[in-house]
Amino acid sequence: MTTIDHSGPRHLAPRSILRRGILSTAGLFAAAIVIAIAASGSTYALWNDTESASAASISSGSTGLTINGVTDYTVGGLTATTLLPGRSVVSPVPLLIENTGTTPLLMSVTGISYPNTASTALGQHLTIVLRQGTTCNTSPDGSAAAVMTGPVNFAVGQTISFCMEVWLKPTAPASVQGATADFVVNLNAAQVRP
Show the domains of the chain with their CATH numbers.
Answer: 65-191 (2.60.40)
- 9-32 per-position pLDDT tens digit: 555 555 555 555 555 555 555 555
Of 11-20, 49-58, 143-152, 161-170, which gets the smallest average pLDDT?
11-20
pTM of the predicted protein model: 0.66
Pick 20 or 152 by higher pLDDT. 152
Confidence of residue 46 (pLDDT cuts 50, 70, 90): confident
What percentage of the chain has pLDDT greater than the value 70? 73
Q: Which residues have a Cβ under 8 Å from the Cβ of 186 and sit 6 or more positions away?
A: 109, 110, 111, 112, 113
The full 3-state SS of the chain, as one line of letters, equals: CCCCCCCCCCCCHHHHHHHHHHHHHHHHHHHHHHHHHHHHCCCCCCCCCCCCCCCCCCCCCCCCEEECCECCCCCCCCCHHHCCCCCEEECCCCEEEEECCCCCEEEEEEEEECCCHHHHHHHCCEEEEEEECCCCCCCCCCCCCCCCCCCEEECCCCEEEEEEEEEECCCCCHHHCCCCCCCEEEEEEEECCC
Nearest to 113 by CA among 126, 131, 96: 126
- 83-138 per-position pLDDT tens digit: 888 888 888 889 999 999 999 999 999 999 999 988 999 999 999 989 888 888 76
CA dihedral 76, 79, 84, 85 (to 10 degrees): -10
